Structure 1
Amino acid sequence: MAQLLLIEDDERVRSALLRSLRDLNHQVASAPDAMTGLRAAIDHRPDLVVLDLGLPDLDGSQMLRMLRGVSDVPVIVATARDDEDEIVRVLGSGADDYVVKPFTAKQLDARIQAVLRRTGGGGGERDSTVAVGALRIDPRGRSAHLDGTALELSPKEFDLLHYLASRAGEVVAKRQLLTDVWDLPFGGADKTVDVHLAWLRRKLGETAQAPRFLHTVRGVGVKLVDPTAGDER
């Protein structure tokens, strides 16, 4: 059960979401403005924050930047603003996801579950360091090391590497990666996965033609393996 903080100034929307999210087995606290929400996020340390942008005392994007200065709590921005530049700016400021109103509680719940899977929110086994051969991944610190050397990964590269390493030896379909890592449950471009895999391979010191950790299973998907465990080609 996730501990959520809903920051929403519209009383009708706030009440409806509180009721619906609680019906979906979440524990939810709420705040009607940015500063109340910021204090609640710091004091109560929720698993995830759902943040509206159109708040009465401070724009939600400003509050997000303030929150990011003191906390790495996952944040889903839930707003009526659908401008692409705004979405890119807010995601770049530290939001983990962005959903445009109107949406159903079930749609929001699916986003919440996906973000918590990616970030390890709510505690549990995903907080543990993942080790595959000489590769070490720390989900809490969002860091990865190979042979003791830190890997410089983008947020999505880290998410992809952590996802595959957590399922070492398991073949994962690209469509499954699009669903779980990119949060695209209705499909997307396989090319997105291919590009990120190519970037990861370069940073892991390998190529598709000479793989070490990342092995493509033609027509099925990709798997991450321990290269010291034997020939996995």
Structure 2
Amino acid sequence: MNKPLILVVEDDAPIRNLIATTLKAHDYRFTLACNGEEALREAATANPDILLLDLGLPDLDGVEIIRRVRSWSDMPIIVLSARSEDADKIEALDSGADDYLTKPFSVEELLARLRVTLRRLAALPSSGSPVFINGQLRIDFAAGCAFLGDKELHLTPIEYKLLCLMARNCGKVLTHTYITQKVWGTSWENDVASLRVFMATLRKKLESAPGSPQYIQTHIGVGYRMMKIE
């Protein structure tokens, strides 16, 4: 099976070359772009499977590129950026990015993020089989129930909705704003406070050790991610 095609958008030549060397060493196919216009052209014509995107490009801001790509494609987008503030991460993720890697980063971390993204794509339920399986967790979307091993999880409607939302985006960081808008239809401060409470109760039912969660990872100040279990 062919490795996915990865579009690398990075204007810093040493970083671009490092990423290219890393991908080549691990037999990934890739194509390169060094500015926003070139990135949009390659995204439209090369049909990449994953986009690695620097935000600080010379001609277009990376967030604008995310928004444009999201207008016609669902390809996973992993942001590579020196911008480390929560507000920058939230803006990129709310605009449609799937993950956010802060510079400087190790090649091992980059490869790990790529593996997470590929597992997320593989975990998405097909239209003909509306069942999600992740480790001991099984969600039957058609029946509207969830199981951990052989035991059915007794979830409130909000907890079940949260679990399904996380499962359908397994491996992807979801911001507080995204989650509250999907679950409550609004994103007020009270909604975020409620989200934390419901996420805590969901973890108690889902995790064997809520203090060391296996399924749902917290990104402090940003949101949550369901991890793919091997």
TM-score category (smaller protein) = 0.5 to 0.7
The yes-or-no answer on 1:39 pairing with 2:44 is no
Separation (CA, whole Å) in 2 of partners of 1:106 and 1:28: 17
Matching residue's letter, 1:158: L
Aligned residues: 171
Moved more, 31-40 or 127-136: 127-136
1:171-223 Cα offsets, whole Å, 9 max, x none, are xxxxxxxxx6769xxxxxxxx999448569xxxxxxx9xxxxxx758679999
TM-score, with structure 1 as normaliser:
0.60
Unaligned runs of 5+ in 1: 138-144, 164-179, 184-191, 201-207, 209-214, 224-233
**Contact 2:53 2:62 (8 Å CA) reproduced:** yes
Give the equivalent residue in structure 1 for 2:126: 128
Which amino acid in 2 is paired with 1:75?
I
- Alignment CA distance shift 1:10-1:39 (3 Å): same
Q: Match of 2:6, SS? A: strand
The answer as to whether partners of 1:80 and 1:100 remain within 8 angstroms in 2 is yes
- Tell me the SS of whatever aligns to 1:118: helix
Give 5+ residue unaligned stretches, structure 2. Answer: 132-137, 146-157, 175-194, 216-230
Alpha-carbon distance in 2 for matches of 1:90, 1:136: 29
What one-letter code is carried by the residue in structure 2 that aligns with 1:53? L
User: Residue 22 of structure 2 corresponds to which residue in structure 1?
Assistant: 20
CA distance in 1, matches of 2:82, 2:107: 15
Residue 118 of structure 2 corresponds to 116
2: distance between equivalents of 1:134 and 1:19?
40
| Distance (Å, rounded) in 2 between the aligned partners of 1:160 and 1:94 | 17
Q: How far has the Cα of 1:157 moved from its partner?
A: 4.2
Cα deviation, 1:27-85, whole Å, max 9, x if unaligned, reads: 11110111111111111221110000111111111111111111111100001111111
In structure 2, the residue corresponding to 1:5 is in which secondary structure? strand
Further displaced range: 30-39 or 125-134: 125-134
From 92, 99, 102, the counterpart of 2:101: 99
Change (3 A) 1:135 1:23: same
Equivalent residue number for residue 160 of structure 1: 167
User: Aligned in 2, Cα 1:55/1:217: closer, same or farther, shift over 3 Å?
Assistant: closer
Given that 1:118 and 1:159 are in contact with CA atoms closer than 8 Å, whether structure 2 keeps it comes out as: no
Whether the 8 Å contact between 2:93 and 2:173 is mirrored in structure 1 is no
C-alpha RMSD over aligned residues: 3.8
2-structure distance, mates of 1:196, 1:77:
26
- Is contact 1:21-1:105 (8 Å) kept? no
Larger Rg: 1
Q: How many percent of aligned residue pairs carry the same amino acid?
A: 29
Secondary structure of the 1:13 match is helix
Asked whether the 8 Å contact 1:7–1:32 carries over to 2, the reply is: yes
**2:89 aligned counterpart, secondary structure:** helix
Q: Is the 8 A contact 1:38 1:63 kept in 2?
A: yes
1:86 has 2:88 as partner = yes
Paired position in structure 2 for 1:49: 51
